[in-house]
Structure 1
Amino acid sequence: MGSPAMARILLLSNGHGEDLSGALLAQELQQQGHNVQALPLVGLGSAYQKAGVPLLGRSHEFSTGGIGYTSLRGRLTEIAQGQVLYLLRRLIRLMRHRRRFDLILVVGDVIPVIAAWLSQRPVATYLVAYSSHYEGTLRLPWPCAALLKSRRFKAVYSRDQRTAEDLSRQLQRPVSFLGNPFMDSVLTADTPPPSSTPRIGLLPGSRRPELEQNLQLLLRLIELLPNTVRCNVDLALVPSLDDDSLRRLSERCGWHLKNGVLEREGAWGINVRRGAFRAVLQHSDLVIGMAGTAIEQAVGLAKPVLQLPGQGPQFTAAFAEAQRRLLGPTVFCADGESGSREALEEQRSWPWLCWIVRDGILTCNSNAKRRPNGASGTLVEAREWRQPFAHCLHECAA
């Protein structure tokens, strides 16, 4: 085994939010002198690449974003697109290169936990996907609990203190909460906009083609909002949806892209912001979102959030409901069938629409900001994760 001062560590993650946390952990480990690589099981691993963390092999992105297992349709889509075979190839790559690493660091859920256990290498796990705040007592999917009890798993970390206490009892081993790295990317203060006009931030997500479906629903929702009140609307968009694709999509919905602004007669203009997610989030008085990690980050910044469930595979009504249980009382959800155009069009008299625009932005925002950790304190606690994580992982690799 390599010297603990220069351990060889592999990050194993399975999702966009997981990659973000993994990349931040990897950067800190690199600064501590460790040799770090990453193996994203789904997606391109863009967060690792941006952070300068080398990948173990080439990566590929699929339309389900690695979460097709949440529905029968998603499972069939993954089979048709070859994602199951792709995952098997990733696992084979892990088996081939496993002896190169002193420690496997899992960031995710049961899938990378199983993969890491099969590698027969020492493992540390950051269970960012699970929380006891959902139902009070966390029910880990089989065989996650049994694997986490094994001697191969040198350390287990949770995403909040309640989960740490719950899992410590269930697993009969120490489970620690050291903080949430995914908040780092939005905590640095950004330059405030020149105007004090209330702002709404739109978060359609990052996975395509779900991103396009979500964006169409958000555009239809903005059409319903009364434009008699002054308000700025900012759309946080990933670079992968370029102007040509955005123009075609928006024109199908009756919108037009002009000089970086989506316009439609009788509706608010929407400012298209690429690469400005942090600024959009920090300066929004209300967030309307169809995303996972991004909404958690919004609540961590004490922003009121309105969910708009879509057709999935990720941001469905079931996902949104679970997210509300986790994040607390400043997360609201639109009524109606998930992803239904008719549901939006039939709800032109929604009382909460007018309330949000007239009074709700400032009222919700002031209430949320009274809570220092966002809506419920379940997401972010005042902890500096870098030094504790780095120290614990250093000990695991020793």
Structure 2
Amino acid sequence: MARLLLISNGHGEDFSGALLAVELKQLGHNVDAFPLVGKGNAYKKAGIKIDVRRKEFSTGGLGYTSFLGRITELLQGQHFYLLWSFIRLLVSSSKYDLLIVVGDVLPVLAAWMSCKDFVVYLVAYSSHYEGVLKLPWPAANCLRSRRCLELYTRDNLTAEDLGEQLNRSVVFFGNPFMDPVLTPKKQFPEKIFRLGVLPGSRRPELDNNLLMVLRVLKCLPKPIFANTTFSFDMALVDALSTSDLNELIASNGWHIIEHSLQSNSFTLSSGFCWLKVHRESFVELLQSSDAFLCMAGTATEQAIGLAKPVIQLPGKGPQFTSSFAEAQRRLLGPTVFCAETNITEGNNIFFDTSHLILEVCNRMTKANKLQSLCYQQAGLRLGTKGGTKRIAQSINHLIL
């Protein structure tokens, strides 16, 4: 069987890459990974060998970041590290039969420069952004190469668009990152309405995002917290420990209650407001919630793929900024809402977001077109379950 190398450049891309790597290993191939950004924790968790020791940066990688985020990237030496990674990758690639790119122009360029055969899952780009995808230079030239054996996209619109632009085979088989959340899990107790909260996963941005979420909850009316048929639930990563969380929220008048060492769930409280926190239950929370308050990337896409409406709360960044949120709305469509789009001078983003939550809640608990629109957009933007297997089988066919 073949020796394969996964090349990815972001936390979400690593997640999809790890899923593909596991599937390809089950088909009998030897698979390693080369994450250009971060330590490749998704690969490590999946038991995939990482070709070279990697380094984590606070901004999470090059891309949509704030101005401060770009300065931080320079100061932390991300650009020089990326150049070193390119050189190391070109040296390592010679021992592999096929390179598998997951991401954007950077890993595409790296694979093309290696002079090896490669395939691309172009998860970072979509024609939904502008209607016609304008690939950054020199992506188009690389993707037209005969050594690019197949090109997989994140949606059918992009496949049709790039097929015409590049005059080559371009296919949409689904998105690997959707498969875990489309696999049914045990649900949380049923409620008339559950708001899921997704504050992101990388510190220190996560800390700031969480404090913003708590300010939004403070703007909601008191009766909604007294209503036992409503629930507010947040998925929290282990990067923010319980002790750090307690210290973070204490200065804002919140504290932890109902916490035990045996449970991965506990509650934050401040006056009449409360928020249930869940660790190690991300998929269960996604499947159990009716709508989401989001400050995340891939997690927001997964929520849309599950036919759930999303309310954005743009933060200070460096990743989930106003510009990132605006691009995300273009990518994911009309079931992503943001109070910032209607904000006027003197308005309060926290108060306006709380009103938007109530509006979405009202629409979701009554017969209306929003739910059917969510299902339509889920299929249009993210596709159906089984993308990992279909892409892996396609790669396997190319090798044999």
Same fold per superposition (TM over 0.5): yes
What is the 5 A alignment of 1:17-36?
17-36=12-31
**In the TM superposition, what is the alpha-carbon distance from 1:70 to its structure 2 partner?**
4.2
Asked whether the equivalents of residues 104 and 122 of structure 1 are also in contact (C-alpha less than 8 Å), the reply is: yes
Report how far residue 8 of structure 1 moved: 0.5
Deviation of 1:246 (Å):
1.0
Q: Tell me the CA shift for residue 379 of structure 1.
A: 2.1
Report the CA distance between 1:24 and its aligned residue: 0.7
Q: CA RMSD in A?
A: 2.4
Amino acid at match of 1:227: K
Q: Please state whether the residue corresponding to 1:126 is helix, strand or coil.
A: strand
Alignment partners' CA distance in 2, 1:104 and 1:376: 30
Normalised by the length of structure 1, the TM-score is: 0.91
Match runs of 1:1-398 below 5 Å: 6-67=1-62, 70-229=65-224, 230=227, 231-258=230-257, 259=259, 260-267=266-273, 269-335=274-340, 343-344=348-349, 347=351, 351-357=355-361, 359-363=362-366, 367-371=369-373, 373=375, 375=377, 377-382=379-384, 384-398=386-400
Instruction: Please state how far the C-alpha of 1:77 moved relative to its aligned partner.
Output: 0.7
1:321, CA displacement in angstroms? Answer: 1.7
Letter in 2 for 1:125: V
Return 5+ residue gaps in structure 2 as ranges.
260-265
Q: Alpha carbons of 1:252 and 1:115: their partners in 2 closer, same or farther (altered >3 Å)?
A: farther
Pair 69,135 (structure 1): closer, same or farther in 2 beyond 3 Å: closer
The alignment's TM-score, normalised by the length of structure 2, stands at 0.90
How far apart in 2 are the matches of 1:383 and 1:275? Answer: 22
Corresponding letter in the other structure for 1:370: S
Structure 1 residues not aligned, in runs of 5+? 1-5
Secondary structure of the 1:177 match is coil
Shift of 1:137: 0.3
- Preserved CA contact (<8 Å) 1:107 1:128: yes
Deviation, 1:83, is 1.7
Does structure 2 conserve the Cα–Cα contact (< 8 Å) formed by 1:70 and 1:313?
Answer: yes
Would you say how many aligned residue pairs link Structure 1 and Structure 2? 388
For 1:3, the equivalent position in structure 2 comes to none
Distance change (3 Å), C-alpha of 1:387 and 1:196: closer
Q: How far, CA to CA, are the matches of 2:354 and 2:117 in structure 1?
A: 54
Deviation at 1:234, TM superposition (A): 0.9
Matched residues in 1 for 2:127 and 2:250: separation? 43
Instruction: Give the letter for the 2:381 counterpart.
Output: L
CA distance in structure 2 between the aligned counterparts of 1:123 and 1:275, rounded to whole angstroms: 35
1:386 Cα deviation (Å)?
4.0
